[in-house]
Amino acid sequence: MIISKCPSLLPMNKTLALTCCFILTNFLLQAQKHTIFGNIIDIENGEHLIGATILAEGKNAGSSSNNYGFYSLTLPDGQY
């Protein structure tokens, strides 16, 4: 191959290979997370609860609802 004999392209090939490894590793790590989301509504009057806190038991993770009662919580793979 002509490319492998060109010394100026060798560092670029190594950089490309390292970049691909980093992207693949990041993709695999992201695949092990799950996002839980929803709306929190007061059952008595149907209003959205603003600023309600959502916590995952046994984990150092939590979220709070926004002005529309919506929350989103990303957790690692497991049972909750």
Mean pLDDT, residues 45-67: 91
Hey, what amino acid is at 36? I
For residues 10-31, give the mean pLDDT.
58
User: Which residue's entry shows tokens 């092990």?
Assistant: 32
48-60 mean pLDDT: 90
pTM for the predicted model, two decimal places: 0.56
For the chain, give every domain's residue range. Answer: 1-31, 33-80
Residue 22: C-alpha distances to residues 33, 35, 71, 75, 77 (Å):
18, 23, 31, 22, 21
Task: Decide: helix, strand or coil at residue 7.
Answer: coil
